[in-house]
Amino acid sequence: MLLFLDTADLEEIENGLDWGMVDGVTTNPSLIAKQGKSYLPTVKAIAEMVPGPVSGEVLATDREGMIDQGRRLADLAENVVVKVPLTPEGLVAVRTLTEEEIETNVTLCFSPAQAMLAAKAGATYISPFVGRLDDISEDGMGLIEDIVSMTDNYGFDTQVLVASVRHPQHIVQSVQLGAHVATLPFKILAQLYEHPLTTSGLDRFLADWQATGRSFDD
């Protein structure tokens, strides 16, 4: 199970890498806008920091524009994956980029039918947005189950990348369903470490030893 950080915040990425649990990063235009920095230089800076795949999204919506921006993103660094929206034009661009051996991440997937089309187009990753489906009272993790069984049934190489993660349970369920990757905000990565019994247990261990008045070496 690979864990990607869903952020364009360099400090968060640095912390996540320091903890040794971050296998890659995904960004999107909203996340980069939040940083108030230039687009391509931000993707480049992230790709230079992270040893694994870094998704940078195209801003064009027509095939020629997406192919051109995809090539420019891929030229930034070897680990850049081109993120393309799930539209007819987007999937045409994915086919061309795939033929050029450029890795792609098809984003804004909300149905098994859309995922099937992305897999047929040769996407390296398909990103179903579970949180945004839950937000409208649909079943985000049910979509992951459907897509994982589809990729298994047909032997598609496309990896299922669980996106729009809102809480640690989304990660636990992703593991149970056999998703290949999940991308999560830094806050949720930190939450994965937490359990109240871990905190209280550690406090108790340290307090008990401190009460003896002895040190580590004593």
* Residues forming the active site: 83
In the complex, least distance from residue 138 CB atom to ligand E4P, rounded to whole angstroms: 13
| Nearest CA among 96, 82, 88 for reference residue 127 | 82
Nearer Cβ to ligand E4P (142/211): 142
Dmax over CA atoms of the chain, in Å, equals: 72
7 binds ligand E4P (CB under 6 A): no
Name which of residues 152 to 191 contact ligand E4P (CB under 6 A).
Answer: 163-164, 183
From the list 44-52, 72-80, 115-123, 129-137, the region that binds ligand E4P by CB under 6 A is 129-137
In the complex, least distance from residue 169 CB atom to ligand E4P, rounded to whole angstroms: 15
Are 176 and 148 within 8 A, CB to CB?
no
From the list 40-48, 64-72, 124-132, 141-149, the region that binds ligand E4P by CB under 6 A is 124-132
In the complex, least distance from residue 166 CB atom to ligand E4P, rounded to whole angstroms: 7
Give the residue ranges of DSSP H helices in the chain.
10-18, 29-35, 39-49, 63-76, 88-99, 112-121, 130-135, 140-154, 168-177, 186-192, 196-210
The residue to which tokens 């496309």 are assigned: 158
26 binds ligand E4P (CB under 6 A): yes
Of 69, 79, 107, 151, which lies in the binding site for ligand E4P, with binding defined by CB under 6 A? 107
Pairing of strands 80-85, 159-162: unpaired
Nearer Cβ to ligand E4P (74/210): 74
Are 85 and 118 within 8 A, CB to CB?
no
Total residues at interface with ligand E4P (CB under 6 A): 11
| Nearest CA among 95, 150, 124, 98 for reference residue 4 | 124
71 binds ligand E4P (CB under 6 A): no
Residues lying near ligand E4P in the complex (CB under 6 A): 6, 26, 28, 107, 127, 129, 131-132, 163-164, 183
